[in-house]
Structure 1
Amino acid sequence: MKWFGRKSAENTRSEENINDTHAGLENVTESMADDICKRVDSADLPANIMNTVREECERLLKLDNTSPEFHIVHSYLEFILSLPWNETTKDDLDIQKAKGVLDARHYGLNSVKERILEFLAVKNLRSRISPNLIIADDEVIARENLSIIFEHEGFAVRTVGNGLEAVAAMEEEPADIVITDLKMDGMDGLELLEVLRNRWPDTGVIMLTGYATVKTAVEAMKNGADQYLGKPVNLTRLREHVQDLLSRNRRIQGLQGPVLCFSGPPGTGKTSIGCAIAESLGREFICMSLAGLRDESELRGHRRTYVGAMAGRILQNIQKTGVRNPVIMLDEMDKIIQNFQGDATSVLLEILDPQQNSAFVDNYLGLPFDLSGVLFIATANMVERIPEPLMDRMEMIEFSSYTPGEKLQITQNYMLPNQLLKHGFSVNELEVAPDALNTIIADYTREAGLRGLDKQIASLCRKLARRRLSGQEEALPIKLAAAEIHGIMGPPPHFSATVTKMLKTGVATGLVWSENGGEIIFVEAVRMHGSKNLLLTGSLGEVLRESAQTALSFLRANAGKFGLSDDFFETSDIHIHIPAGAVTKEGPSAGVTIAVAMLSQLTGRMVREDMAFSGEITLHGDVLPVGGVREKVMAAVRARISTIVLPAKCAQAVEQLEDEVLGGLEVRLVSRLEDALEAALN
């Protein structure tokens, strides 16, 4: 019995401890609710946001402290308070500084840098424009006092005595904001308001009157006034209203600002250029990878009805930066997954549309947040994979492949010094001859960008570090010549395709573009006894197959012109093959090459071994223009081709090529397939 009694006493003490613990928790949660409500009262939130937040605070105070709903509401209020509703970064629009930053971070890319500097120059000029204000009041003292106040704050102020004079001033130069009295001779404030809303709907209008009544206020706001204030005027409120209308007006004027999209092969500096733009502007930088994104809730957030709901990545990143106008880079936009499981591009349509993103609603927040101050920059390797509605909202800036000369300069001045320091060498302890670097570029990399080259330079430094510690390299500085590269780095990992010097029939060299840059391909054609079959192999896509069918139909329709019998296909099969069958090939630029290879086989005439082709064809023999001219020309130079045949409509693209890219290459422009065939066949 004593044992049970002692146990009962222990239980009693435990219950008392539990009650004390509950009381402590209740006090903590009550203080949490009081604390966040005090923070809400002192927060500088927009008026429409403040109303919703106060309702949530009242709801929080009524909730049971131990309920899950209490913590959900508390977390929601914490998130709202943490968002930068009014915090912005002032842009540094010094063009020379921006040019210096871009040049210091990147070698080459001159056309890209020029477009970015143009973009910053426009922002600079727009920032210099003084806001334009018209004050319409029949009292001279009133309008002169207001004029002195706003001129001191940087406004270009014009004063008029009535509505008629205000309309004339607007016709001379429209104002951003009109401050007008209600009672005036000639044309009063309401009549002026009607004219302004019909002719200049974007102009902000603030109505002032010494006869303020509920009726006149309702009538003015109903007719389109933005604000209505009584006299004597509260100057603090008037300034706030003017600044609010000015920011809204400037946002409307800047709605057509472009969203830049950097397109080009991997490793060409798209992301780092975006970082340089943010650095030159003095803004915060956010890089968001969209590769593999399939659910729009990752960007728009989850509704608070879900357990564990949170805001989308857009607002989360803005929350981390603490400002509402950062530079946000939407990386790898072309790799967003679009299938039956989801499509996140619908959210991007809203985010990147300046007509909509000023009131972006995240599902978790449930309130409009202004994204119009954000500078969005997108990147993509293959713009063809981006939906058309999304492309319409962006301005494409193409990043071209680096030339061998540019790669050499970048390696010497940036890449090699950085890798030496990372691997324990001083800059003066290793000297690599330019020929040795060119050997690495040509034999150990096969890319349009620089990532693979950077890895190979790092590999070279690692091997030299090991040789130095093993005693094989004692003398400093270490000097490397081109002849030593293969011995240090081993056999080249890539096979560089070059044209064969052996003349063959039925083999033509084509120029193609891939997301890794330009390449050459060999198209083979053979004719055999058969029953009118066209065989196509080499993992060809549908467009390439159609090009082959078109080439065959053109040759059959014009057999006499090329010395072929009209029935040459009646008892024959023709086989078209493009080697490297493990690699999928697709695109509209191989039609001329296939036609050349096919006619060479049918006529027995050999194709010039130093010539390559690119261009699409029609059934009537017209040669259509193709893209990727720069990369294709560079591939031809790399493969030691001396002459290339391109469509005549690519003439402008050829004229824009630098002498270093052409490398002494002869370019023949043709508009008809007959001209290409005549030039190709010996």
Structure 2
Amino acid sequence: MPTFGFDGKKSPETMTLPMMSLREVVMFPRSIVPLFVGREASIKAIETAVADYGKQIFLVTQKSPEKEHPEADDLFEMGTVAKILQMLRLPDGTIKVLFEGVSRAYWDPEESRLVYDEGEDAEYPQAVVSVVEEASGTSAEGEALVRAVHESLEEFGKVNKKVAPEAILAMSTLKDAGALADQVMPHLKIDFSRKQMILEELDPNRRLERVYELLLGEIEIVSIEKRVKGRVKDQMEKNQREYYLNEQVKAINKEMGREDDPQAEAQELEEQLNAKPMSDENRERVRKELKKLRTMQPSSAEYTVVRNYIDWILDLPWDNLKDDRDVDIKSARTILDEDHFGLEKPKERILEYLAVQTLVETMKGPILCFVGPPGVGKTSIAKSIARSMDREFIRLSLGGVRDEAEIRGHRRTYVGAMPGKIIQSLKRVEFNNPVICLDEVDKMSADFRGDPSAALLEVLDPEQNYAFNDHYLDLDYDLSKVFFITTANQLEGIPLPLQDRMEIIRLPGYLENEKVEIAKDFLLPKQIEAHGLKPDNIKFSENAILDIVRYYTREAGVRNLEREVASICRKSAMKIVEDNDREKVVHITKQSLEKMLGVQKFSYGEREADSLVGVCNGLAWTQLGGEMLMVEVALMPGKGKVEITGKLGEVMQESARAALSYIRSRSDQLGLKPDFNTKVDIHIHVPDGATPKDGPSAGITLTTALISALLNIPVRHDLAMTGEITLRGRVLPIGGLREKLLAAHRGLIKTVLIPAENEKNLKDVPKDILKDLEVIPVKTMDEVIERALDNDSESVLINQHGVPPLATELLKDAQRNSAHQ
């Protein structure tokens, strides 16, 4: 029970009374209030109070009015002991009761009983209450407050005609501060929670002072309400008069063959134009269109075209900027980390921009380009950027767009002409500084209607887009406040001039451990909620998610991982529904994955078990991340025919021809006859023949496989390589090193040969990957051969030790010589 302050004292004696809870009504002592009662328990409590408790009842207000059967925590601690003066039953089953407040009282939830039964023998709520003995007597301060309230009551009675003069007169005769406050409160239209605060105030002077503040506020509100009503009434009369005059004008225009008055519309449009913050040059252009509009008939087709054009210009947010929130780097970092795991470089670049924005008043919007494989979060991180800056977000998909008018708009001479997507989006969000994400910028194409990528050159150039000229508007529009973000899967599809205008930020694929963390922290909670499950309904073992990543998905992002998690959630939901047990727990283990997701879709650890002749492990970059690329070479007796299969692109076919030319130029050092190629047919094959393969990074892999087959020396099965070769044997640098090393790690490779010029890129590779791999930079093909071929006893190159290699042809020559001798 609460303690009492000031002079209010709790009576040592308690009493038990029927209790009724009130909704949005607070009963005060010394006040008389009529209430309509419809709840069964409340009616029972009133009837019992009349029959057995001398018409006394305890009234207490609910904290939440919507509760039908409130518990102890749903009721305030202080209420009012009231007396039932009159009770009237109504035909609809409710009763109208006239209550008179008697005294404040606290009720004891532990000793009281809250029941809500129905029926003839139903029980009713009972409360054990302690009446508050309020302080008596009035100080000098209290007398001053009483006089002030009396004066305000007279003014309140004048402005509020709903309060009866008799009630004002009755309150004006009260001299006790507490009694006066209690009688004034029921007449004030304030929230019930504030009334409850007044009820709980036990100091009479303090209570009256707060009531006085509320009374003055009510007088002010009522006065304003009267003024507003008078103004609205005058406006309505004015509108009615205008309506009558407009109807007369319409009738005159109708008689003259005109449905509407173009002059009135033009005048309204000109007023809107004057209020728009645009340049004088643009304003003058629009005024010329308005001048033409005044001379046209509304029924003409040209009138509609001009009117639509003016409406578009007036609807654009020319200088309407949404206030960015005060930039807080810590909160922005928190938002980015909440939405995405990893992606440190993109996040750091965004935080740099926000930091600069705090130091300069105006800053041209940057042009960022997120490049990465599907599913790594390019578009979603753009959304997070908008959220961290508290700006509107617009996403425009440019995949398959081939019409320049999608960007620049159509000229008004065409039927159905409209502005481009950029201008349309700005009209929709009504702000001139949103975050616009141009998705799939590498998927645009060109045809006879123009090249949309060329149209983007002006949009995405910070030095030009302050005066972007849309064909439909034919006016300079400022796009420099817009924060543009573009996304692409690969840079090859973006023209170089367009790349030059953007800051390229690469989003690499996720590591295994990163995917596991993303699944735990982001994907699982999202899918569990989406499928109507509770977190306790589904439990994953420690290695179950790791096995899903390894054996059921093969991607750089997490899109397929989310699909597999969703599949498990669906099957778990089906089990719970079938068993009709909402509390059932489904355990997901390594053993249960095959039953949930079917047989394993991929293998983990793709290398061969043994070293083989003519088989070499290559590394390739794809849109889905890194992949192991097996190269096989077979030799057959023949006349020098070279066959290349595996659906290889032109670049890889050229690499194969360059590899063969390099081997022929080095035949002496390799111990091969100069015309070895005329005696055998060579078949080069890259398995998984249905998948197209191309790119300038398989040169040394093809060369090593060819040398292995020609010398009959196996290639190390635990080694992989990447790099392009020249005819002189130099190893050229490649791209996508991070993804390729991830693929090597996934394939259980121990050693990787990379071009020496790519050694600087190793800093972008996670340390967890590098600690499990031996990465060896190489400059020439000679180094590759020495490290790649599984030849422990002999050197491969004759010019290094002066000893011929173990080549098949040389062995045959030696056997023939010994036979002749």
Q: What is aligned with 2:281? A: 48
Matched, 1:451 2:684: no
Q: What is aligned with 1:125? A: 359
Q: What is aligned with 2:48? A: none
The 1:259/1:516 distance shift into structure 2, 3 A limit, reads same
Answer whether contact 2:643 2:682 (CA < 8 A) is retained: yes
The answer for unaligned runs of 5 or more in structure 1 is 1-16, 128-249
Deviation at 1:495, TM superposition (A): 5.1
Answer whether contact 1:361 1:369 (CA < 8 A) is retained: yes
Answer whether contact 1:645 1:670 (CA < 8 A) is retained: yes
Q: What is aligned with 2:701? A: 593
CA distances 1:204-237 after superposition (whole Å, capped 9, x unpaired): xxxxxxxxxxxxxxxxxxxxxxxxxxxxxxxxxx
Percent sequence identity over aligned pairs: 42
Q: What is aligned with 1:69? A: 302
The 1:487/1:446 distance shift into structure 2, 3 A limit, reads same
Deviation at 1:479, TM superposition (A): 2.1
2: CA distance, partners of 1:472 / 1:515: 44
2: CA distance, partners of 1:43 / 1:393: 31
Deviation at 1:56, TM superposition (A): 1.2
Alignment of 1:153-172 (within 5 A): none
Alignment of 1:6-21 (within 5 A): none
Which of the numbers 323, 332, 338 marks the counterpart of 1:104? 338
Alignment of 1:454-465 (within 5 A): 454-465=562-573
Answer whether contact 1:46 1:85 (CA < 8 A) is retained: no
Deviation at 1:586, TM superposition (A): 0.6
Which SS does the other structure have where 2:757 is aligned? helix
CA distances 1:448-495 after superposition (whole Å, capped 9, x unpaired): 001111111111100111122222988733222111111122113345
1: CA distance, partners of 2:552 / 2:744: 18
Q: What is aligned with 1:628? A: 736
1: CA distance, partners of 2:255 / 2:610: 91
Which SS does the other structure have where 1:27 is aligned? coil
2: CA distance, partners of 1:122 / 1:494: 47
The 1:340/1:44 distance shift into structure 2, 3 A limit, reads closer
RMSD, matched Cα: 2.1
Bigger mean CA offset, 257-266 vs 465-474: 465-474
Matched, 1:500 2:608: yes
Q: What is aligned with 1:523? A: 631
Matched, 1:534 2:642: yes
2: CA distance, partners of 1:23 / 1:606: 99
2: CA distance, partners of 1:539 / 1:595: 18
Deviation at 1:258, TM superposition (A): 4.2
Matched, 1:431 2:539: yes
Q: What is aligned with 1:358? A: 466
Matched, 1:646 2:754: yes
Deviation at 1:496, TM superposition (A): 5.3
**What letter matches 2:650 in structure 1?**
E
The 1:282/1:22 distance shift into structure 2, 3 A limit, reads farther
Alignment of 1:324-339 (within 5 A): 324-339=432-447
Which SS does the other structure have where 1:419 is aligned? helix
CA distances 1:571-609 after superposition (whole Å, capped 9, x unpaired): 222111111121111101101110111011000001111
The 1:654/1:28 distance shift into structure 2, 3 A limit, reads same
1: CA distance, partners of 2:539 / 2:777: 44
2: CA distance, partners of 1:288 / 1:75: 24
2: CA distance, partners of 1:126 / 1:40: 31
**What letter matches 1:301 in structure 2?**
G
Deviation at 1:46, TM superposition (A): 2.3
Deviation at 1:325, TM superposition (A): 1.4
Deviation at 1:73, TM superposition (A): 1.0
**What letter matches 2:307 in structure 1?**
H
Answer whether contact 2:662 2:729 (CA < 8 A) is retained: yes
Answer whether contact 1:33 1:74 (CA < 8 A) is retained: no
1: CA distance, partners of 2:302 / 2:769: 65
CA distances 1:436-459 after superposition (whole Å, capped 9, x unpaired): 111111111111001111111111
Q: What is aligned with 1:467? A: 575
CA distances 1:175-225 after superposition (whole Å, capped 9, x unpaired): xxxxxxxxxxxxxxxxxxxxxxxxxxxxxxxxxxxxxxxxxxxxxxxxxxx
CA distances 1:332-382 after superposition (whole Å, capped 9, x unpaired): 000001345531111101111122211111111111101111111111001
Q: What is aligned with 1:85? A: 318
The 1:70/1:439 distance shift into structure 2, 3 A limit, reads same
2: CA distance, partners of 1:667 / 1:350: 44
Which SS does the other structure have where 2:383 is aligned? helix
1: CA distance, partners of 2:257 / 2:482: 45
Which SS does the other structure have where 2:523 is aligned? helix
Deviation at 1:91, TM superposition (A): 2.9
The 1:107/1:42 distance shift into structure 2, 3 A limit, reads closer
The 1:422/1:667 distance shift into structure 2, 3 A limit, reads same
1: CA distance, partners of 2:256 / 2:695: 73
Deviation at 1:523, TM superposition (A): 0.4
**What letter matches 1:62 in structure 2?**
T
Which is bigger in relative contact order (C-alpha 8 A, separation at least 6)? 1
The 1:536/1:461 distance shift into structure 2, 3 A limit, reads same
1: CA distance, partners of 2:711 / 2:580: 61
Q: What is aligned with 1:95? A: 329
Bigger mean CA offset, 106-115 vs 504-513: 106-115
Q: What is aligned with 1:289? A: 397
2: CA distance, partners of 1:384 / 1:645: 25
CA distances 1:223-253 after superposition (whole Å, capped 9, x unpaired): xxxxxxxxxxxxxxxxxxxxxxxxxxx6xxx
CA distances 1:265-293 after superposition (whole Å, capped 9, x unpaired): 01111111111111111211111110001
2: CA distance, partners of 1:480 / 1:274: 34
Which SS does the other structure have where 2:678 is aligned? coil
The answer for unaligned runs of 5 or more in structure 2 is 1-249, 791-821
1: CA distance, partners of 2:683 / 2:702: 11
Q: What is aligned with 1:381? A: 489
1: CA distance, partners of 2:256 / 2:537: 71
Answer whether contact 1:513 1:519 (CA < 8 A) is retained: yes
Answer whether contact 2:403 2:446 (CA < 8 A) is retained: no
The 1:384/1:345 distance shift into structure 2, 3 A limit, reads same
Q: How many residues align?
A: 540
Matched, 1:298 2:531: no
Which SS does the other structure have where 2:621 is aligned? strand
Which SS does the other structure have where 2:369 is aligned? strand
2: CA distance, partners of 1:655 / 1:564: 41
2: CA distance, partners of 1:61 / 1:655: 69
Answer whether contact 2:731 2:755 (CA < 8 A) is retained: yes
Matched, 1:261 2:369: yes
2: CA distance, partners of 1:451 / 1:649: 34
Which SS does the other structure have where 1:476 is aligned? coil
Q: Which has the larger radius of gyration?
A: 2
Bigger mean CA offset, 410-419 vs 524-533: 524-533
CA distances 1:37-86 after superposition (whole Å, capped 9, x unpaired): 33224444321121111111111111012101111111111111101111
Answer whether contact 1:634 1:662 (CA < 8 A) is retained: no
Q: What is aligned with 1:314? A: 422
2: CA distance, partners of 1:658 / 1:378: 26
Deviation at 1:18, TM superposition (A): 12
Q: What is aligned with 1:243? A: none
Q: What is aligned with 2:385? A: 277
TM-score by length of 2: 0.64
CA distances 1:305-350 after superposition (whole Å, capped 9, x unpaired): 1111111111000111111111111110000013455311111011
1: CA distance, partners of 2:739 / 2:489: 14
**What letter matches 1:106 in structure 2?**
H
Which SS does the other structure have where 1:425 is aligned? coil
The 1:68/1:405 distance shift into structure 2, 3 A limit, reads same
Deviation at 1:23, TM superposition (A): 6.5
Deviation at 1:27, TM superposition (A): 2.7
CA distances 1:499-533 after superposition (whole Å, capped 9, x unpaired): 12133211111000001100001101112222222
Q: What is aligned with 1:10? A: none
Which of the numbers 90, 115, 129 marks the counterpart of 2:349? 115
Answer whether contact 2:511 2:742 (CA < 8 A) is retained: yes
